Amino acid sequence: MSVVSPRASGSTAPPARRRSIAGVRPVHLLVAVATMVVLVVALVWDGEWRVLRVVLTVLAIIVAPAVWDPQRRVIRPATGVMVALILLALIGPLFTRDPLMLNVGESLATPGSDIWFGTDQHGRDIFARVIHGARLDLGVGFSAAALAVIVGMPLGALAVLRGGLFDSVLLRISESFQAFPTLLLALGIVAAVGPSIPILIFIIAIVNVPVYLRLTRSAVAPIVNADFVLAARCAGQRELTILLRHILPNVRQVVLAQFSVNVAWAIQILAALSFVGLGVPVPTPEWGAMVRGGYEQMVYGRWWVALFPGLAILFAVLTLNQLSDRVRHTT
């Protein structure tokens, strides 16, 4: 029995472009439009923190389609909460008070209907500072983790591909970094070079690079001599092409699971550095610095000054850990 193609029998198949447009779900179109609107807002807003807002917006665009589970037709809780936090960090400051505005007459006001989280000892609105702090903490956390992935993931794969002295040197360097506690190493570097947001991102990324290097190395080692890699070598493909096209895509799920954990680590490291006075400069709204400024007030019963920024750190870290577990269980 012969098979006749649709074109030979006179029927015309619909163009691929038309099929793809017709197959787009309304929820995906809504997510695309919403994220584009947020991106425009992030770009045209005032220049302060523009880079961090753009980073968060790009991450929201990438992560937003994963919120909806098409098989179960439900919203994935961890991903949904993470996207909500990113969007809150992006557009939330548009609807809050100035986080740096001093009002001595309203200092240490208790939470109420007008001031949801109360005020601190300088009369600043804690709710506004928590929302603005989300932009900084999430932006630094995602930026530092992304930089660590960009550096550590290719190095770990190259260590397996090349082997020999190159592999040994990278392992010894990574072991030297991991011999020190992460927080103590970050504290030492910040104390030596001084605190600033770009330096904090760079330092947090550097202390996390060995994690991705060793993780990628252990994930690539079993597949470096697989048939598809040997076939690519026989086809004459370059080592960089084999690395980017055939090897790294096969370990991305493991790296993504670790990525969420590292973002949580980065937020905790930034909060710890700010708590001891080596993080962002005062009075920049940052969760760790806010806890540092409010923990002394708890002795006098003013619990709200440190409670709400502390809950923000806890909520963000727990959400990221749940997101990592979901990615790990889908592998």
Residues 169-203 have pLDDT tens digits of: 888 888 888 888 888 888 888 888 878 888 888 98
Q: Considering the chain, what is the average pLDDT of its residues?
A: 77
- Interval 24-33 mean pLDDT: 56
Q: What is the residue-wise DSSP string for 26-81?
A: HHHHHHHHHHHHHHHHHHHS-STTHHHHHHHHHHHHHHGGGGEETTTTEE-HHHHH
Residue 133 lies in a domain: yes
| Residue 160 falls inside a structural domain | yes
Q: What is the pLDDT at residue 232?
A: 80
Number of domains in the chain: 1
In a domain, 117, yes or no: yes
| Residue 20 located in a structural domain | no
Classify residue 145: in a domain, yes or no.
yes
Q: What is the mean pLDDT of residues 151-173?
A: 85
pLDDT digits over 281-302, tens only? 878 889 998 998 888 888 888 8
DSSP letter assigned to residue 25: -
Domain carrying residue 134: 50-216+254-330
Q: Could you tell me if residue 56 is inside a domain? A: yes
Asked if 294 and 302 touch (Cβ cutoff 8 Å), the reply is: yes
In-domain check, residue 17: no
Q: The domain spanning residue 100 has which CATH number?
A: 1.10.3720.10
Cβ atoms within 10 Å of 316's Cβ, excluding its own: 24
Chain-centroid distance of CA 162 in Å reads 30
Q: Is 32 among the domain residues?
A: no
Q: What is the pLDDT of residues 79-106, one digit of tens each?
A: 777 777 887 887 778 788 888 888 877 8
pTM of the model: 0.74
Distance of CA 249 to the CA centre of its chain: 19
The SS3 of residue 194 is: coil
